Structure 1
Amino acid sequence: MIGTHNSMTYAKPYHWYGWLLIPFARCQKKNLREQLLAGVRCFDLRIRFDKDGTPYFAHGAMRVKGDVYGVLTDLKIQTMFLKEKLLVRLILEDPKLRKEQEILFIDFCNDIENVFGEYMTFFEGRRKGDWALIYDFKHKQPINQFVGSMAEDARWYEKIMPFAYACRKNKANMQLATDVLKDKVNLFDFV
């Protein structure tokens, strides 16, 4: 199964300085519907919470525009047309390891699993950074990540600029995922 890594990073940055971070933080160019049309059936959503406890999408220091509940509702509608469940990997994008973020994430995961669980299968529930399990979803899903920041065969500049590794390796890695690793979820940058 093909999935996207940092699925929401196609969205516009929320703050002006986010535009400067795009070469380092953007992992997707296509919006969610375009990702679905490209065959994606697993989405990697990175969540953080503002001071009021409202969830938002982020990757590292870059916050991106998009309503979390609106996106989940849109994915729910898409599953009704596709007549198949989508997989959604949820990660707490909080490498500072703040306890209040962890508490909000646990409540969020519990709520969305109850509200959207009929339409989507959620998994992971980890915190970026130490990758500790924060929320234990019922579903366990093995994954491969064909992304430059984690790839052993990535060149130094491909580790910090996701598009560079994707340009060089996506075709071969996609073939490998389709032919050999089809029983796992395979996450890619720039599908």
Structure 2
Amino acid sequence: MKSNRNWMDYFIYLFWAFLAFTVIYDLFFVPIRSVYWFAGFLFALFLYYKKLLPKPVYVFMACIFVFQVFGELYFEFFYNIANYDKLDHFISGIEFCILFYYLFGQKVENKRYLILTAFLFSLSFSYAWEMVEYISDTYFGTTTVGVIMGDPIDYVGSGAQMIVPQYEDTILDMFYSFLGALSFVFGGLTFLKFKKKKTKRT
């Protein structure tokens, strides 16, 4: 019997295995961060088995998440490249717009309204995430607020430097998330306008 699986299916299985490994691996470094990876893993399974996203979109979102995991954990770009954090928040702004758009795309006929609502959802999530970072730093001893160059685990004794203060980092994070979400709105509305013109011609 011929299998109906294609490369996207195998990529998704590999993605899940990668997330499972990441959850266990990070327990030895920043255990509280493993909770975030585990939540992402559960959400990825939920999206897949509920068939809430088209498979190509799911794969695209998985690639973004893998990029974020490598940047935060394995390659530590977050702690070695000054502007990586801002790039991450810019991408996240787009990422959550895409997620919202496809989750509710079948239910909302007015695509312009859907795009603008996705924009608001992305902003709301980014603001909520900043609150999560503040709570994590305050009560669990993490170093998620502020841009630190150097060892984030041994921040005090390693000679690491905070190059962007905490309050400024929070404002910039929300600003870059806003820019990412805004770029989605611009791209989405432009696509709808182009599609409408093309339909009139045909």
More strand by share: 1
The question of a shared fold, defined as TM-score above 0.5 by the shorter chain, is answered with no
TM-score when normalising by structure 2: 0.28
Pick the structure with greater CA Rg: 2
More helix by share: 2
Q: Which has the higher contact order (CA 8 A, sep 6+)?
A: 1
